[in-house]
A and B are shown apart, each in its own frame.
Chain A
């Protein structure tokens, strides 16, 4: 069975500071990995995904994530936080299908 652990249910950063949201996964097969973002009262939208190939993947709004097989991690980063980045972020894993298993989510707060 696949699973995702997101470390930290809440992360707070200052505007302009580095954003780091942590995600570790468990999968018995080579995984596909995803980060989704949810703004208040909205559905989830895809930020970025790793399927195969380059382990550093870039997404929308300046976010990127690196797949590290040895660490079973897929942490999300952004060099400089913006107020508009405040949202809830979900890491997800799949076994190459469309059936995703989501983590518990991390709420990002950006302080001015």
Chain B
């Protein structure tokens, strides 16, 4: 079975440009999470969805960040405009809703570099 699929794997862009990261969760998994990983701050939960509905976006750093989940098989994380401090690896993870066991399935990440 395919795991969580993220694209692009690597993105290099210039400050001020819009960045869109994409995620396809595992089929049947109705909870989806976006994490950001940096050396300075470690792994931070940005936002998570249950059944396509955003449940907790308290980790979204500022209005430049937005996330959507238009259907059960696709989510996007958008940064507009991007800044150098947004450089990080962004992970998407999924799990079945209501499982409550904490076993998240992670994608391989999207490494973003903002120049």
A positions within 8 Å CB-CB of B:
32, 34, 41-46, 49, 51, 90, 92, 94, 96-105
Contact = CB atoms under 8 A, between A and B. Distances in A.
Contacts of B56: 99
A92 B102 contact: yes
Contacts of B101: 32, 49, 51, 98
A44 B100 contact: no
B100 A43 contact: no
Top 6 A-B pairs ranked by shortest CB distance? A43-B106, A102-B43, A104-B42, A44-B106, A94-B102, A46-B103
Given A34-B102, A44-B43, A101-B45, 18 more contacts: A34-B103, A43-B91, A43-B107, A43-B108, A44-B93, A45-B106, A46-B104, A49-B101, A51-B101, A94-B102, A96-B100, A97-B102, A98-B101, A99-B45, A99-B48, A102-B42, A105-B42, A105-B43
A17 B107 CA distance: 31
Contact of A103 (B42, B91, B99): B42
A102 B91 CA distance: 13
Given A43-B4, A43-B107, A98 B42 contact: no
Contacts of A97: 100, 102
A49 B103 contact: yes
Interface of B: 4, 31, 33, 42-43, 45, 48, 56, 91, 93, 95, 99-104, 106-109
Contacts of A51: 101-102
A100 B100 contact: no
A97 B102 CA distance: 7
A101 B31 CA distance: 16
Given A99-B56, A102-B42, A43 B102 contact: no
A41 B111 CA distance: 9
Contacts of B104: 44, 46, 98, 100
A90 B45 CA distance: 14
B99 A98 contact: yes
Nearest to B9: A41
